[in-house]
Amino acid sequence: MIKNKLITSFLFIGVLATSGFAQESNNSLSKMTLKEAFAGKFLIGCADDLRINNEAYQSSIKTQYDIVTPENSMKPQSVHPTEGKYNFVSTDAMVDWCEKNGLQVWGHTLAWHGQTPRWFFQEKSASIGENANVKTSFSNPTIPPPPPPTTPPTTTSNPPRSNWGGNRGGVDTSPQASKEVVLERLKNHIMTVAGRYKGRLVGWDVFNESIADGGDGKTENLRTFSWYKAVGPEVITMAFKWAHEADPKAQLYYNDYNIEQGAVENKGKHASSMLLLKRLIAEGAPISGVGIQGHWHLNTNLADVEKAIENYASLGLKVSITELDVTATGDNSGAMGVNQGDRKIPAENYQKQADVYKKLFEIFMRHSDVIDRVTFWGLSDTRSWRRGQDALLFDGDLNPKPAYKAVIEASVTK
């Protein structure tokens, strides 16, 4: 009888000790920041131009993240609005601020069909003055004053990213420049922009969103306007070579949305991305990795996400999740005009969102040997291009949501 009581006592003490350890472990996790939780696994980043940040946002950036991607200020429209004229005021201030505060910077993006001024593709006589002779209803983003930011964020601080691009059929009616002229302009742009920040940026998204939506996955399915019409498929390889020449130590990525879709069955946009990446490697493009943007929603196919990471790694490439957000309502992708969903989001959706985020980060942890970086596209639900769909880990007052806790918990999985 005494022996049984002793065994029972030891078991009870063991339970208390285990319970106490678990509670202490949970308390320790709850106090972790994002970058602390994933230290030694991969970098944690955010996207912001650092133009309008109050003290709370500045503190959040410094506390939670390792690396910052400029959301709009390094895109061609902002930094190179007219031929021979560059505007580095905002980008210089951003890079300076990050360096002073111990943050790394990722460049985004050297070439894209969107937010690229028309002059890149026009004859000189047609390109005097920004976007001359262009008949379009799209508006061009302006370049606001640089940091240091002192005022609270407003609804216009992070405008929805534009899908406005050069040389789209039916829009630009001006005479088009020759292939040689277009290539020379792109080379000068890359050499100037990437060269300016040589040694100061971790890497660059060299080309962005080259693959069209749809398609059966039997071809690269490149877009049929902008760079791909003015030059051809080889423009991507050439851009990588110029970026490497401008900054030999920078990591160089191809970046796109929805390229994980179809990975399990090797079809659709994923299959097209594999064909594109294999060609770039075969042509000697100095490509370091591929960026899966990660604009996802509550019903995202997680099996495709994991298989895509495995497939890209099989090519010898690193992988980053470059523009992560998971909408709590409606659809999501890197394209414009998706279903925004019901703006009166039910409470259970936030728990579903947390579950998706946790499963995603469990996938990332399983593949931390090939994943370099996970970057959230924005800072809060109101500092996001998916404003109204509550897609990030923090609400508009920077309070952590259930998804934040779920992501932190995923950091201890294998």
3-state secondary structure of 99: helix
Output the CA torsion sign for 63, 208, 333, 339.
positive
| DSSP per-residue codes, 217-263 | SSS--B-SSTHHHHT-THHHHHHHHHHHHH-TTSEEEEEESSTTTTT
How far are the Cα atoms of 80, 117, 346 from residue 83, in angstroms, in the given order?
Answer: 7, 9, 49
| Beta-bridge partners for 122 | 176
CA nearest neighbour of 235 among 275, 217, 208: 208
CA distance 143 to 138: 16
CA distance 54 to 151: 5
Angle of helix 402-410 relative to helix 347-366, nearest 10 degrees, comes to: 20
Amino acid at 410: A
Which residues are CB-neighbours of 63 under 8 A, at least 6 positions away? 33, 35
Q: What are phi and psi of 266, to 5 degrees?
A: 50, 60
CA nearest neighbour of 407 among 65, 47, 8: 65
Largest CA distance in the chain: 102
Which residues are CB-neighbours of 319 under 8 A, at least 6 positions away? 289, 290, 291, 292, 309, 312, 313, 367, 370, 371, 372
Token couple for 262:
């179809």
Token couple for 291:
């960026």
Catalytically annotated residue among 71, 220, 260, 323:
323
Q: What are phi and psi of 84, to 5 degrees?
A: 80, 0
Q: Is 323 an annotated catalytic residue? A: yes
CA nearest neighbour of 255 among 363, 357, 68, 111: 111
Residue 195: CB atoms within 10 A of its CB come to 13
| DSSP per-residue codes, 154-182 | -TTSSPPPP--BTT-TTTB-SPBPPHHHH
Token couple for 360:
């995603």
Catalytic positions are: 323
